[in-house]
Structure 1
């Protein structure tokens, strides 16, 4: 590997690390926000159902059914988002651990073939996604 290829590889790895850390922080913030939003909507919807007898002259029962359907769809999307957030957090943690392992291997006496190491590590997330 010549110097130009080494610079390109280091730049690629640094950009990947920055994007991974940013995705992890964004994912955790959105995860918290969407959880609280869904909990608040569920609480309000529960109050509507509990007080439906008093509110029945203002709210049609079919509208309440449609609201329940929308809430169930939102809950399903929230579950999918939680799963994706877990993948992002695990990927970021694995990237940080891999960086430490890479530094240990790079400072060791045996030379490291980066190209042959990169192929299996890039296929890892695809193998996990194929299990769904």
Structure 2
């Protein structure tokens, strides 16, 4: 077995980032869900009560509100997809850490190439292509590469949720400016 440079530091970073990313992703996902739930409730109210509110809010304002709800929903779906990926990585790094401690205690030596091959076999072709750089880096001893990429994914998740919040605020502005008593 070849010696891996800075293995303990790499494992520390992998587990630490995995935990931080998992927690951040959960908070972002919760906020996104809260936003889309409120948006859905308001959209349902406007559509179901249109006859009673049509004198106070223009139909154009309600239409734009619904269009923006659909845009926010699409953003929320992409955000949720990223949240699932980041949560999986977070859980995997925690489980891997615990197994690693047990293996070290029992002097178990793992066949890294077997692990990488089995990991690749479980991936769809497109996912395998996306993960090829991460797997190559890990094969070469850079185990922190994946955690860097998952940190970026978590940042993209936050950006999608920020855009979702802006879309939601813009929709509220549209209703507020088209409201007339």
Q: TM-score range by the shorter chain?
A: 0.7 to 0.9
Pairs within 5 Å for 1:42-61: 42-61=40-59
Q: In 1, Cα distance between the equivalents of 2:20 and 2:27?
A: 11
CA distance in 2, matches of 1:110, 1:17: 20
**Equivalence for 1:92:** 90
The aligned runs of 1:58-73 (5 Å cut-off) are: 58-73=56-71
Please give the alpha-carbon distance, in whole angstroms, between the structure 1 residues aligned to 2:89 and 2:14: 11
Deviation at 1:100, TM superposition (A): 2.0
Task: Return the match for 2:116 from 116, 120, 123.
Answer: 120
Q: How far apart are the structure 1 equivalents of 2:33 and 2:48?
A: 22
TM-score normalized by the length of structure 1: 0.74
Tell me which residue corresponds to 2:10: 12
Taking only aligned residues, the RMSD between alpha carbons, in angstroms, comes to 3.0
Task: Tell me the residue number matched to 1:78.
Answer: 76
- Displacement of 1:94 in angstroms is 1.4
Partner Cα separation in structure 2 for residue 50 and residue 90 of structure 1? 39
Change (3 A) 1:35 1:111: closer
Name the CA shift for 1:128/1:20 in 2 (closer, same or farther; >3 Å). Answer: farther
Give the direction of change, closer, same or farther, for the CA distance of 1:58–1:109 in structure 2 (3 Å limit): closer
**CA shift digits 1:57-113 (9 cap, x unpaired):** 332222222211111121122122222212211211111111122222223345457
Greater RCO structure (CA 8 Å; 6+ sep): 2
Give the alignment's TM-score, normalised by structure 2. 0.56
Q: How many residues align?
A: 124
Cα distance change on mapping 1:22 and 1:108 into 2, 3 Å: same
Q: Which residue of 2 aligns with 1:40?
A: 38
Match of 2:126 in 1: 130
